[in-house]
Amino acid sequence: MAFLVFSGGLFPIIFIMLKGKHIILGISGSIAAYKAATLIRLLVKEGAEVKVVMTPLAKEFITPLTLATLSKNPILVDFYNPENGDWHSHVSLGLWADLLLIAPATANTIGKMVAGIADNLLLTTYLSAKCPVAVAPAMDLDMYRHPATQRNLNVLKSYGNWIIEPEEGELASGLSGKGRMEEPEKIVAFLSTLWQEKKDLTGKKVLLTAGPTYERIDPVRFIGNYSTGKMGFALAEEFAARGAEVILIAGPVNLKTISAAIRRVDVVSAGEMFEQVMQFADQCDIVVSCAAVADFTPKEKSGTKIKRGKMDLNLELQPTQDIAAELGRRKKAGQLLIGFALETDDEACNAVLKLRKKNLDLIVLNSLRDKGAGFGGDTNKVTVIDRKEQQFAYDLKSKQEVATDIVDRIVDLLQVK
């Protein structure tokens, strides 16, 4: 079997997964827009239904009539068509689509996607889309390699968008270099792989914790941490995409789940998280403790707001129940326990100690000393350590890509057990 190389990995050249898929093709104002005609023809040939959304400038490079003829659907450019009174809802488009492909994607459109600018129908559709998004850049080599463009592409990757890297070759400017939009045949080959999901966890049940806990001091104050839950939620989606049934115990975060295979239970405090985890743990094949659970909670909690006074406030803390340690104590035969360790010094040593002490099978280590890792961001840099103290170090990646790496390691361990 032949393979293609794109940003994100190797993909086999097979056109078998597009039949019946709803694909929005977004076309921005680039000379490479002429390739959209071939791209539509190939997608329709493989059984996909294609709707085209063009930016106003894209019409200067290829006519809507050509694309409408090939796609067998009206071409959408404006929010409102005064000729027939049609209103083009970007929300409805986002719900209809299985995939949004923006090809060609100019530097201007990519920059607006990153900034959240919504000044045309294509951009509002992008911001509304709940489906996967693939982006095929097309621009001159100096524009492509400009730090601003490279930063924007990295941000789109961190959002979970797929970047179909441009080719090297002769450009419209007469220069030669990287910036040519990938050929339509290769783009279709790439798209076909998006539905070749690994289902290597079908029949498995996963319990996962994510986010922080808040330990109440009084009705308006709490002890907490900077966890956003992004890593845990990315793991939940990855497990679900690979066939697992997922129970997600989430602390207070501003995130939503996408997969219907995820059952979400919201909690606030460490005590609440402990109760919910213990309720479900025995039912699960895999338990992942990704949450940043508070180690201490106030011994006394005030029922009213504590007022500022002249005297210092002494807050007495007591330990919370150690969820990972209790899971290790109760661990059933064949069950996998995975923990996380966020460290600032002696990272590997402290992670191994935690793995041993809490009877874990794997521990995922990240260090606050690594730029781009830890709380708050869209990227992470991890090292996975097993019971034999083997270390598997990964480069800085988006949290979605990190989730794939972690789940791959868990699947490998399942196959050995």
Phi–psi pair at 160, nearest 5 degrees: 95, 5
Q: What is the largest CA-CA distance in the chain?
A: 78
Sign of CA dihedral 272, 274, 277, 279: negative
Sign of CA dihedral 287, 239, 226, 8: positive
Q: Cα–Cα distance between 121 and 133 in angstroms, integer?
A: 16
Q: What share of residues in the chain are helix, strand, coil (percent, to 5)?
A: 35, 25, 40
C-alpha distances (whole Å) from 293 to each of 84, 330, 340, 346, 372 are: 57, 19, 11, 21, 21
Per the annotation, the verdict on 225 as an active-site residue is yes
**What 8-state DSSP symbol labels residue 76?**
B
Q: Is 204 marked within a binding site?
A: no
Give the start-end residues of each E strand in 156-272: 162-163, 167-170, 176-180, 205-210, 215-218, 221-223, 245-250, 262-266
Q: Is 371 marked within a binding site?
A: no
| Active-site annotation holder among 225, 314, 350, 366 | 225
Residues 6+ apart with CB under 8 A from 49: 20, 21, 22, 23, 73
> Which H or E run contains 348?
helix 347-357
Q: Is 340 marked within a binding site?
A: yes
Burial grade of 407 (CB within 10 A; 0-12, 13-18, 19 or more): buried
> Which H or E run contains 154?
helix 147-158
- From the annotation, which residues make up the binding site for CTP? 295, 305, 340, 354, 358
Catalytic residue IDs = 225
- From the annotation, which residues make up the binding site? 295, 305, 340, 354, 358
